[in-house]
Amino acid sequence: MTEPAFLVNESDPGRAERLLDSAAELLLRWGYQRVTIDDVAKHAGIGKGTVYLHFRTKEALFLTVLLRAHRRILTGIVDRMEADPIELLPSRLVRGSYLHVAADPVAKVLYLGDNEVLGRLAHEAAATMGGIAERRAEVMDLYAARLRKAGAMRTDLPAQDQLTIISAVGLGFYMSGADDDDPPHRAALLERTIAAALEADAPDRVALAAAGPEIVAGMRSLIALIDQEWRDRVR
């Protein structure tokens, strides 16, 4: 999975990635309040001044850590949808997202809004993600409309109620399984629950595939928004 091209520095292509990896590790270990730019620089094996060649402030650095986690989840969703139309189904969407969050401690902190780790960064993260969340709601409206038209989602409930079910059930699994040691099992339960609640018995793969490009384009617009937020925080 490639990172945005603007992250790469010609003199040291991997330096920004090392910074983000170090910042992510220390965020999880100590929490935002305790970590300093000095700590990140030492952990990454670079000088403090070099950090500021990439990121304007400590806040910008750690917000980028969160944006990167969110981007990776969305990129994974898009990749799966493009590889197999079945991955467009709500049950597969939530299953893949759950497994990704379960495997990425930073994504888990972001999705659960862990204030113990995020500290005052939580407020800035909410503000930063606000525009992305608004666009996500629009994309999900499109998603539900296209799947209903394709016969992949039932129509016995309003589309907004179906989206509420996806969000509420998915969040419930995240919240109740924060320390679970068998994510694949829980992901399978989540997939089965969403399929039973929302999906047609035998979705048409051809109709699903026809709905795919517009849905994928919507998802890519979210990635583009994240990239813009990211670009605003790097030098």
Residue spans of the domains in the chain: they are: 5-231
Q: Which tens digit of pLDDT belongs to each residue from 54-83?
A: 888 999 999 999 999 999 999 999 999 999
**Taking the mean position of all CA atoms in its chain, how far away is CA 118?**
16
Q: Give the pLDDT score at 234.
A: 79
Q: Give the pLDDT score at 1.
A: 46
* Beta carbons of 72 and 7 less than 8 angstroms apart: no
pTM of the model: 0.90
Q: Give the pLDDT score at 230.
A: 86
Closest CA to 205 of 109, 94, 84: 84
Write the CB contacts of 143 (distance below 8 Å, at least 6 apart in sequence).
Answer: 215, 218
Q: Which residue has the tokens 């983000």?
A: 20
Question: Distance between CA atoms of 179 and 214, rounded to whole angstroms?
Answer: 36
Q: Give the pLDDT score at 179.
A: 67
45: alpha, beta or left, given left = phi > 0 and alpha = psi -120 to 50?
left
Q: Give the pLDDT score at 11.
A: 56
Q: Give the pLDDT score at 178.
A: 60
* Beta carbons of 208 and 89 less than 8 angstroms apart: yes
Q: Give the pLDDT score at 191.
A: 97
Return the CATH fold of 5-231.
Answer: Tetracycline Repressor; domain 2 (1.10.357)
The ranges of the chain with pLDDT < 50 are: 1, 6, 8, 10
CB atoms within 10 A of CB 57: 12
